[in-house]
Amino acid sequence: MSRRRRAECAFDALREVIPAPETELEYQDHWQLLVAVILSAQCTDARVNQVTPSLFERFPTVHDMAKVSPEDVFPLIQSISYPNNKSKHLVGSANLLVDEYEGEVPQTVDELVRLPGVGRKTAQVVASVAFNVPAFAVDTHVFRVANRLGLVTEKANTPDKVERQIKRLLPPEEWGEAHHLLILHGRYTCTARSPECGICVASACCVYKEALDRLPAPMPGLLPSKGKYYCATRKHYFDEPDRVTDRRGVDQISCPKCGSMNVFLSKTGETTKQVKDFRV
Ligand code: SF4
């Protein structure tokens, strides 16, 4: 299946179960959206939504935030990751917006990245959500799910490369929707530690699931008393495995005698082979 076909298949399936793909951050205007997105770096949206009501009540507008110091903001966001830096970024951004943009949030990514605490990812989210500017931000969920589904090539090993490849694959008017579909799918189904492939609507077009399905079936009847591992190539048990890196760059357990990766856990009969994953 080509990447284009995979993308059609995956996004069609995801649209069925995620009819309203949009940010889960809560906000009332562009400034509050910017604040919420800055706070959400390395933090969950749920946690951000817990602190923003009292933050916005105390400092409802960009002008209110521009009048105070980071020390005034800190107590209200201290349950969020990196509260020190984020307090400085919020106050710094408010001052720059008041001084240079009459308190309005600018619409372009190039202008947004001038604000303290606003990197390319944050800028793209704000531009896309607030102003419908075609943008495709790659966070940890988007990176992982795009790779697992096979929407990008194996060379897409950085967020920038994933962004470029997805942008070439989809028309600009679909970038924002695709971003939210991949985030929500990654947050609730294709999670980092335990993707729920068994119930996933996109499993028919997923490269990761195909690789899982190709793994050897468990071997019944192995004898753990003879050794922790069983090499099905040389047909012997052993306790101290070797490790090799396979051609996809995945660290695998191998037989110390023959180097085979055709190894099973004696206790459960399961293969020790690992499928390439994309957790970052
Ligand atoms: S099949 Fe599994 S790995 Fe693939 S997208 Fe679904 S949950 Fe993720």
Cα–ligand 1 centroid distance for 167 (angstroms): 21
Same domain, 98 and 76: yes
Cα–ligand 1 centroid distance for 161 (angstroms): 21
Percent of the chain at pLDDT > 90 equals: 92
Q: Which pLDDT belongs to residue 248?
A: 85
Q: How many domains does the chain have?
A: 2
Phi-psi region of 22 (alpha: psi -120 to 50; beta: other; left: phi over 0): beta
What are phi and psi for residue 101, nearest 5 degrees? -130, 20
Same domain, 116 and 140: yes
Same domain, 73 and 181: yes
Is position 70 within any domain?
yes
Instruction: Decide: helix, strand or coil at residue 244.
Output: strand
Q: Which of 10-14, 75-79, 134-138, 230-234 has the lowest mean pLDDT?
A: 134-138
Same domain, 59 and 76: yes
Rounded to the nearest integer, the mean pLDDT of the chain is 95
Which residue out of 200, 201, 212, 276 has the highest number of ligand 1 atoms within 8 Å of its CB and is therefore the one to mutate?
200
* Locus of tokens 């800055």: 38
Same domain, 112 and 4: yes
Same domain, 128 and 245: no
Ligand 1 atom, smallest distance to 206 CA: 4
Domain C-terminal end among 184, 199, 214:
214
Instruction: Determine which residue's CA is closest to atom 8 belonging to ligand 1.
Output: 190
Task: Note whether 150 and 162 are within 8 A (CB).
Answer: no
Is position 275 within any domain?
no
pLDDT digits (tens, 9 = 90+) for 113-149: 999 999 999 999 999 999 999 999 999 999 999 999 9
Is position 207 within any domain?
yes
Q: Which residue out of 64, 67, 88, 121 is catalytically annotated?
A: 121
User: What is the average pLDDT across 49-53?
Assistant: 97
Is position 277 within any domain?
no
Ligand 1 atom, smallest distance to 196 CA: 7
Same domain, 241 and 259: yes
Task: Note whether 119 and 34 are within 8 A (CB).
Answer: no
Q: Please say if the pLDDT value at position 279 is more than 80.
A: no
| Catalytic residue status for 139 | yes
Cα–ligand 1 centroid distance for 122 (angstroms): 26
User: What is the average pLDDT across 57-70?
Assistant: 96
Same domain, 152 and 23: yes
Is position 276 within any domain?
no
Q: Which pLDDT belongs to residue 280?
A: 63
| Residues sharing a CB contact under 8 Å with residue 237, sequence separation 6 or more, in sequence order | 223, 226, 227, 228, 229, 230, 231, 266
Same domain, 135 and 257: no
Q: Which pLDDT belongs to residue 266?
A: 97
Q: Which pLDDT belongs to residue 249?
A: 86
User: What is the average pLDDT across 73-91?
Assistant: 96
Q: Which pLDDT belongs to residue 81?
A: 94
Q: Which residue out of 64, 72, 86, 139 is catalytically annotated?
A: 139
User: What is the average pLDDT across 63-80?
Assistant: 96
Domain C-terminal end among 185, 214, 243:
214
Ligand 1 atom, smallest distance to 186 CA: 8
Q: Which pLDDT belongs to residue 157?
A: 87
Is position 272 within any domain?
no
Cα–ligand 1 centroid distance for 247 (angstroms): 22
Task: Note whether 260 and 231 are within 8 A (CB).
Answer: yes
Same domain, 224 and 96: no
| Catalytic residue status for 45 | no
CA distance 39 to 42: 8
Ligand 1 atom, smallest distance to 207 CA: 4
- CATH code for the domain in which residue 172 is found: 1.10.340.30
- Going by pLDDT thresholds of 50, 70 and 90, the confidence category of residue 1 is confident
Cα–ligand 1 centroid distance for 214 (angstroms): 15
Q: Please say if the pLDDT value at position 160 is more than 70.
A: yes
Strand partners of residue 237: 230
**Ligand 1 site residues, Cβ closer than 6 angstroms:** 145, 148-149, 189-190, 195-197, 200, 202-203, 206, 208-209
| Residues sharing a CB contact under 8 Å with residue 76, sequence separation 6 or more, in sequence order | 51, 54, 55, 58
Per the structure, the complete domain to which residue 76 belongs is given by 1-214
Which residue out of 185, 194, 196, 209 has the highest number of ligand 1 atoms within 8 Å of its CB and is therefore the one to mutate?
209
Cα–ligand 1 centroid distance for 197 (angstroms): 5
Domain C-terminal end among 175, 194, 214:
214
Same domain, 192 and 259: no
Q: Please say if the pLDDT value at position 162 is more than 90.
A: yes
Q: Which pLDDT belongs to residue 73?
A: 97
Is position 115 within any domain?
yes
Same domain, 131 and 247: no
Q: Please say if the pLDDT value at position 193 is more than 70.
A: yes
